[in-house]
Structure 1
C-alpha cells in the first residue's frame, strides 16, 4: 500500500514538472515590503496584495507592538471559549458600522470564512450559483456542501438569471474583484437580480475592501444595493491577516451555533484585533494611499497600453497574459535578474493557455519602480 501512494505522489510531481506547472515556496528575508531581500539580492516586490502599503507602515507596526505589550500574543482559545475579547468586539462594532451590517464573525483566513459559510448554510436540495472564476475556496466548498452547484459564465448576469429556480433555496455568489483578472463585478445588478428572483446574495470582497469604491468601502462603495452576506479579508488592503463574515443578526447567530470553522478554531489574538482596528482607521482616513495607487495605475496604463500582453483594469491587479507556462516562467526569471519580483500564475489556477504574471501595484511603490517594471515588460513585448 505504501508503494502505491509513493508511486502516485511521484507520478503527480513528475507530471507537474514536465508541464512547467511545479510550484515552490520562496523564502524571503525581510518580510512583506515594497523592496525585500532573498539570497543577498534586493527585489522590487510586484507580487504582494498589500495594496495600500499598510503591512510595512510604521504607524501600524507601532500600534501592533503596543497592543502586544498590553495584551500578549495569543488568544488561547476559540471565540466561544475565552478567545473573544473586548478588542474583537470593538473591531466588530467599527466594521459593521462602516459597512452597514448587523454583525460580523471573525476567521483566521478568507478561505476559512468562505468554507464556513457555504458548508454551514447549504444542504442537499439547495441550489448554489457561482461565477465561473470565483476563488478556489468557494468552488471547493460548493463541491462539498451537498447543494447542487452550477457555475454561470464569468460576469454574465443574464446567464445567472437563467439558472435561477424559484422553487429552490438558492445562494448566488460572486466576487467584487477577481483575483487573477483584476476585473470588477457589477454588484448592483448582481444583487438586484438576486432580490428579484428570491435568491440569497453573497459577495467575496477580499480584493475590493479598502481599495475600490467610495472611501475604500469595497463592494458597498460601488453599489447602492448591498448583498445579504459579505466576506472581507484582512490580508490584502488591511495589511494583516484574517477575515470576517458580515451578515444579519440572525444569520450571525446561526453561524455561531453551527459553523465548525468558527466553533473549533482558535481566534486570532486581541492584539491582532487591535491592530486591525488601527488598520481600519487608516483606511478610513488616509485617502492618499488610494490616490497614490490610482496615480501609479494610470502611469502603468499609459506606459503599457500598446502591449498586447497587458490587460487594463481599474484595480491594483494588473495581469500580463503570455499564454504559455514556460514563457511566463522565463519572463519571471528574466525580471528577477533585473531585481524585479513577479509571480507566474499557471494552470490550474488560471485556464489553460492563459499563463500570466499577476502584477500588483501598491501605495508603497514609487514612480521609478513602476517605470522600471514597465520598461522591462515593454522590451519583452517587443522581442516577442
Structure 2
C-alpha cells in the first residue's frame, strides 16, 4: 500500500464510525463562557477550575515577564534555557508541596513519559490503574518494563498482583483525580501497599493540584501522603501549560542525566516560569474560589434529576454523564451547543473505554447559579433519538 492509499483508507474508515474527531476554532474563552463564530456559549468544558487564566495579577505578571525575558527560552535547560525564573519556580514548587526537588517539563505528557521511560527498564515492573492517562500507558510500553493494569481504584486488585516477587524495581502509578471520571484515587491504601512491597508510588495529580487539599496542594494532601514521585501539571487549575516532577534529590539528579524529554526539549519560556510562580501565590490564596467551586459542585449534584442519565459518584469539578452510545452522546453535545448555547464536548473511545461515551461536564468557580440552572434545564429538555 502506498502513502496516499494508507492515509485515505484510514481516514475514510474512521469517518464511517461515530468516533471521528473534529476541532473547533474558537474565538476566545474563559472558565464561564466560550465564543465560537461570533456566538457566546456557556462553557462547561474548561479545565481552568479556578478561573486563574484570566486573573489580573497573573496577566500583569505575564506581560512584565515577557518584557523582561522575551518570548522564549531559546534552548534546552541543559544549554542556556535554564534561568533564575525556572530555578525559583522549582524551589517554590518543592517548598509548597514538601519535596526537596522539582524539575520543570514542557507538558504533563512529557513529564509522565520521561519519568517512566528513564527510571524503568525491562527488568522492572509497573502496576498502573486501569483508567490511567494515555501518556502513562504509552510510557509503560516504551519503557519495555513488565506492566499490568489493576482494577480501577481497587487496592485489593493491586495487592493481588504485586505480592509476587520480582528481581527488579516496582513502580505503582495512578492519577490523583481521574480526568474522565472525576473520582479520587485511594492514595493512602495504595501507598501502604507500595511500602509493604518496597515499591514506589507515582501520582499524576493534573486535576487535583490547585483545586483540593490545604492551600490547593492536591490529592495526596487530602490523605497526608507524600508519594515518591508527584507529577503536577499547569494546564488545568493553573490556567497555563507545562508540568513539574516532584521528587527527592537523587531522583532529580538521575532525571537531569537521563530524562530525554528534559534534555532534548526547549524549556518553557522564562516569562512562563515567572508567571507560574505568581500563579502559585494566587492558588495559595484561593480558598474563596475553592469554596465557590465546591458549592457549584454540590449545587449541580443536588439538583440533577434526569431519569434517563445516571449521575457519576464524582465529587470533584469533573462531572461526567455516561451515555454509552456514541451517536447519542454526539446528539446530546450537538443539542446543547446548537439549541441551548451550552458548550460541552462529547468524549468517546478510544479516550474512554468502549460503551462508556460521555458528556464530560466541568464546573468552575466562575460559574454562577443561573449557569448551572441553564445546564440542568437543557439536559432535561433533551430527548434521545434512537
How would you bin the TM-score normalised by the shorter chain? over 0.9
Q: Which of 297-306 and 185-194 deviates more?
A: 297-306
> 1:96 and 1:290 mapped to 2: Cα distance?
22
Q: Which of 82-91 and 302-311 deviates more?
A: 302-311
1:242 matched to 2:242? The reply is: yes
Assess if the C-alpha contact under 8 Å between 1:128 and 1:147 holds in 2: yes
1:378 matched to 2:361? The reply is: no
The number of residue pairs the alignment matches comes to 382
1:29-69 deviation digits (Å, cap 9, x = unpaired): 11444212111211111111101110122221111111111
Counterpart of 1:38 (choices 16, 36, 39) is: 36
Q: What SS is found at the alignment partner of 1:185?
A: coil
- Alpha carbons of structure 1 residues 299 and 33: separation in structure 2 relative to 1, 3 Å: closer
Give the deviation of 1:305 after TM superposition.
4.8
1:143 matched to 2:141? The reply is: yes
> 2:102 and 2:273 mapped to 1: Cα distance?
13
Q: What SS is found at the alignment partner of 1:55?
A: helix
> 1:93 and 1:71 mapped to 2: Cα distance?
19
Q: What SS is found at the alignment partner of 1:376?
A: helix
Q: What SS is found at the alignment partner of 1:106?
A: strand
1:218-243 deviation digits (Å, cap 9, x = unpaired): 12311122110000000000011000
Assess if the C-alpha contact under 8 Å between 1:310 and 1:321 holds in 2: yes
1:205 matched to 2:189? The reply is: no
The TM-score with structure 2 as length reference comes to 0.96
Tell me the equivalent position of 1:271: 271
1:158 matched to 2:160? The reply is: no
Tell me the equivalent position of 2:220: 220
- Alpha carbons of structure 1 residues 247 and 214: separation in structure 2 relative to 1, 3 Å: same
Which ranges in structure 1 are unaligned for 5 or more consecutive residues? Answer: none
> 1:121 and 1:35 mapped to 2: Cα distance?
42
Assess if the C-alpha contact under 8 Å between 1:116 and 1:260 holds in 2: yes
Counterpart of 1:70 (choices 68, 82, 96) is: 68
> 2:33 and 2:60 mapped to 1: Cα distance?
20
Assess if the C-alpha contact under 8 Å between 2:77 and 2:263 holds in 1: yes
Tell me the equivalent position of 1:255: 255
> 2:173 and 2:146 mapped to 1: Cα distance?
13
> 1:196 and 1:225 mapped to 2: Cα distance?
15
Give the deviation of 1:383 after TM superposition.
8.8
1:264-311 deviation digits (Å, cap 9, x = unpaired): 101111110111011111110121110111111111001115543322
1:313 matched to 2:311? The reply is: no
Tell me the equivalent position of 1:108: 106
> 1:322 and 1:124 mapped to 2: Cα distance?
39
Q: What SS is found at the alignment partner of 2:293?
A: helix
Tell me the equivalent position of 1:322: 323
> 2:213 and 2:165 mapped to 1: Cα distance?
32
The TM-score with structure 1 as length reference comes to 0.96
1:233-254 deviation digits (Å, cap 9, x = unpaired): 0000001100001101000000
Give the deviation of 1:159 after TM superposition.
1.0
> 2:382 and 2:83 mapped to 1: Cα distance?
52
Give the deviation of 1:379 after TM superposition.
2.4
